[in-house]
């Protein structure tokens, strides 16, 4: 067994809470919306930012705390967006920097590992949809 309880996806870190998740999500999106690479994609896709932030907070709560609050299908909306590898890379860069800034190291790393897995699965789904063959680019970092 590892020293980091977040290495086991069924266990939440005792110091991780909804307030931390909410702060991370709000801070990340405030930065992402202003970003030259991913900001335009978000601004074109999101009509109601309060609703979006709530859904994404529920998503991360479900991923990190196993609350089950998110019942949506996150892949579907991303498949219709004009996303390229550079968008996923920039999303990860901003998300990782925000997690490292706001969270203790073990919690930041747990967010980063999961974010990379999510980015890889989204990129692979997009590649499959386009008939491209690819392999995960982010999980092995």
Q: What is the DSSP letter of 7?
A: G
Q: How far apart are CA 137 and CA 141, in angstroms?
A: 8
What does the pLDDT profile of the chain (141 residues) look like in tens digits?
344 444 455 556 678 999 999 999 999 999 999 999 999 999 998 999 999 999 999 999 998 988 888 887 776 766 667 778 888 899 999 999 999 999 999 999 999 999 998 888 877 877 776 666 655 556 544
3-state secondary structure (DSSP) of residue 2: coil
**Nearest residue to 111 (alpha-carbon basis) of 65, 72, 77, 73:** 65
User: How much is the pTM?
Assistant: 0.81
**Which CATH number does the domain 13-129 belong to among 3.40.50.720, 1.10.490.10, 3.40.50.2300, 3.40.50.150?**
1.10.490.10
4 burial (CB, 10 Å; 0-12 / 13-18 / 19+) is: middle
């Amino acid at each position: 067994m590892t020293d980091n309880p977040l290495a086991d996806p069924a266990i939440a870190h005792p110091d991780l809470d909804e307030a931390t998740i909410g702060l991370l999500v709000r801070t990340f999106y405030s930065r992402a919306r202003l970003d030259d690479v991913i900001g335009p994609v978000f601004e074109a896709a999101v009509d109601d930012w309060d609703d979006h932030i709530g859904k994404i907070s529920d998503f991360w709560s479900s991923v990190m705390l196993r609350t089950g609050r998110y019942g949506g299908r996150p892949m579907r909306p991303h498949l219709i967006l004009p996303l390229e590898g550079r968008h996923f890379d920039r999303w990860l860069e901003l998300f990782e920097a925000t997690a490292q800034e706001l969270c203790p190291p073990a919690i930041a790393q747990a967010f980063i590992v999961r974010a990379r897995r999510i980015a890889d699965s989204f990129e692979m789904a997009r590649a499959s949809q386009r008939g491209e063959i690819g392999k995960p680019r982010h999980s092995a970092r």
